[in-house]
């Protein structure tokens, strides 16, 4: 009967710890996967764009930004020649839904990116075969391309693409490189596997990059590591862009300086709310389990009152009796929490597609720590009662 009572009491702690750690593990895994899928945005960067990111919870006055011009190649060159607090800079533009052809083969629904030579200094482009554009090819707008894994595989399944020519929008492009396979991005995030890179000026031969076409150019500037928070870089970019666009002191900016980490921070704040929900859900179960452990300890003190009296008559101190029962309470609670953590660990082996569940050391420590605190809180009163028992009365209780 004691075993059944103890098991039922520990079940509350087990369920509570399982709920909390399972939610935290899921949230951590989701957050990590999403942030990893956003690596294509780069790190330590500031983007000069037409539209500001719409995060912050307030109204988004999109009508204010409609008439803003897109960043231009001339503005990119002006920034490139004048910015001091940068280790890399690029202007690029993207067009989706592109089809590439080689002889009778086609690869559809690709992303075509027009980039400058400095793009590789801002974003990682892992070349597996061939090479990157030379500065001369980029500046002259030569018809050369670098293929992502999918178009390379679909257009050249049994041969190397290097040195071959493909057609995009009826124009021939010489393949000079192939990007290493990355695999599918989490929740459909962009992947280099779907991309074709060409020089920015080559892109302009196909599409006009401007207001009328809807093709937007972005200028991305990678800051120096010593510029903490990119404070100096942001101030420098704002001053130079206002100068280039001849804005008066009282006029508002006609451009946006966006930080990619704003997206990650927004995602993190969203997951904080989910984590709070995990605490609430698991808290009720832990509360029930805590009362169960407290009940076990009260019963244990009553059943062992005679033994406590004997221990005290033999010289046992009050703190010894206190720690004895407190240790039992914490031990029971940690066992319950450990079982909950074990269940979460087993859950991590379940396949969830592209989401990889990982039980982190910090979550294990958190689960065991919460279990120990619950055990201590549940056992402190029964343990104190046992420590204060009069040895004569306790011995006579049998």
Per-residue model confidence as pLDDT tens digits over 226-280: 888 888 999 999 999 999 999 998 898 999 898 876 666 666 666 677 677 767 7
For the chain, the domains span 2-36+265-396, 40-259
The rounded distance, in Å, linking the Cα atoms of 157 and 141 is: 28
- Per-residue confidence (pLDDT) for residue 277, from 0 to 100: 72
Tell me how far apart the alpha carbons of residues 125 and 149 are, in angstroms, rounded to a whole number.
12
Structure tokens at 112: 């075509």
Model-wide pTM > 0.75:
no
Neighbours of 231 (CB within 10 A): 11
CB distance 130 to 176 below 8 Å: yes
Query: Residue 219 contacts by C-beta under 8 Å, 6 or more apart in sequence?
Result: 47, 48, 49, 71, 75, 76, 79, 89, 90, 91
Rounded Cα–Cα distance for residues 238 and 227 (Å): 16
Convert the pLDDT of each residue in 327-368 to its tens digit. Answer: 888 888 888 888 888 988 888 887 766 667 788 888 889 888
Taking CA atoms, 323 is separated from 308, 368, 371, in Å, by 13, 19, 17
* DSSP β-bridge partners for residue 122: none
Q: What is the 3-state secondary structure (H, E, C) of 337-398?
A: HHHHHHHHHHHCCCCECCECCCCCHHHHHHHHHHHHHHHHHHHHHHHHHHHCCCHHHHHHCC
Mean pLDDT computed over 97-109: 92
- Classify residue 173 as exposed, middle or buried by CB count within 10 Å of its CB (0-12, 13-18, 19+): buried
């Amino acid at each position: 009967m004691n075993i059944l009572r103890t098991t039922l009491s520990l079940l509350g702690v087990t369920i509570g710890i399982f709920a909390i750690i399972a939610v935290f593990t899921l949230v951590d895994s989701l957050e990590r996967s999403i942030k990893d899928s956003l690596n294509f945005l780069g790190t330590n960067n500031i983007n000069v764009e037409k539209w500001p990111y719409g995060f912050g919870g307030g109204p988004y006055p999109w009508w204010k930004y409609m008439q803003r011009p897109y960043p231009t190649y001339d503005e990119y060159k002006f920034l490139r020649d004048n910015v001091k607090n940068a280790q890399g800079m690029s202007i690029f533009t993207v067009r989706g839904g592109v089809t590439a052809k080689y002889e009778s083969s086609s690869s559809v629904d690709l992303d075509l990116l027009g980039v400058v030579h400095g793009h590789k200094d801002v974003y990682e482009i892992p070349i597996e075969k061939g090479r990157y554009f030379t500065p001369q090819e980029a500046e002259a707008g030569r018809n050369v391309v670098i293929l992502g894994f999918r178009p390379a595989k679909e257009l050249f399944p049994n041969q190397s693409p290097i040195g071959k020519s493909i057609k995009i929008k009826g124009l021939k492009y010489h393949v000079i490189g192939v990007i290493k396979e990355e695999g599918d991005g989490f929740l459909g995030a962009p992947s280099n596997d779907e991309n074709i890179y060409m020089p920015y000026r080559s892109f302009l031969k196909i599409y006009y990059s401007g207001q009328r076409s809807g093709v937007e150019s972005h200028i991305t500037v990678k800051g120096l590591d010593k510029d903490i928070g990119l404070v100096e870089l942001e101030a420098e970019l704002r001053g130079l862009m206002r100068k280039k666009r001849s804005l008066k002191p009282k006029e508002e900016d006609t451009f946006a300086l966006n930080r990619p980490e704003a997206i990650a921070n927004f995602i993190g704040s969203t997951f904080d709310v989910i984590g709070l929900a995990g605490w609430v859900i698991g808290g009720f179960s832990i509360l029930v389990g805590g009362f169960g452990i407290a009940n076990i300890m009260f019963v244990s003190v009553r059943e062992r009152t005679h033994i406590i009296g004997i221990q005290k008559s033999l010289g046992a101190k009050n703190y010894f009796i206190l720690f004895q029962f407190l240790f039992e309470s914490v031990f029971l609670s940690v066992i319950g929490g450990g079982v909950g953590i074990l269940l979460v660990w087993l859950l991590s082996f379940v396949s969830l597609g592209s989401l990889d569940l990982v039980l982190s050391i910090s979550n294990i420590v958190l689960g065991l720590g919460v279990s120990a605190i619950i055990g201590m809180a549940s056992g402190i009163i029964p343990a104190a009662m046992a420590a204060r028992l009069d040895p004569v009365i306790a011995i006579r209780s049998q």
